Amino acid sequence: MNKTNPKNCLPENYRSACPIANVLDIVGDKWTLLVVRDLMMGKHRYGEFQTSPEAIPTNILAERLKRLEAAGLVKKDFYQDNPPRAEYFLTSKGADLGPILQAMGQWGAQYIPGIVIPEQFGPAEIRD
């Protein structure tokens, strides 16, 4: 271990101590926040996410749901065993991403021509 490397003072594999950088390491890609958006709009099942107009590839959807669950943003609740079928819900940690989505929605509404403001997020059901 190199004592002169300041990253040794950080939790492992943090890029930096900056909150923004760390948030981006969780949701900084083109798909993750769209899944969160769908969860906020009341979607809960795999097939429902696939009906969104962006048409997320199925392998990426599966992987993102796993990552969101691993990060504690999403809870996977099985409602039957055979075949295993589950519903996905935001935890309070995940639901607290709401302000980020809202800020994005506002910016997009202001600056991107031709967009359609979606029906407001309902009060997303939370399961911790």
Partner DNA sequence: GATTAAACTTGCAAAAAGCAAGCGACTTAA
Partner DNA sequence: TTAAGTCGCTTGCTTTTTGCAAGTTTAATC
Binding site for DNA (CB under 7 A): 29-31, 45-48, 55, 57-60, 62-63, 65, 82-86
CB 27 within 8 A of CB 96: no
Q: Based on the shown chain and the rule CB under 8 A, indicate whether residue 109 belongs to the binding site for a second copy.
A: yes
Using CB distances below 5 to 8 A depending on partner kind, what does residue 59 bind out of a second copy, DNA, none?
DNA
Pick from 76, 77, 104, 123 the residue near a second copy by CB under 8 A: 104
Using CB distances below 5 to 8 A depending on partner kind, what does residue 110 bind out of DNA, a second copy, none?
a second copy
Part in contact with a second copy (CB under 8 A); list of ranges 11-19, 42-50, 61-69, 77-85: 11-19
* CA dist 109 → 50, 103, 114 (Å): 24, 10, 9
* CA dist 119 → 40, 44, 122 (Å): 11, 17, 8
- Give a three-class secondary structure readout of 61-113: HHHHHHHHHHCCCEEEEEEECCCCEEEEEECHHHHCCHHHHHHHHHHHHHHCC
Nearer to a second copy, 23 or 62 (CB): 23
Nearer to DNA, 66 or 106 (CB): 66
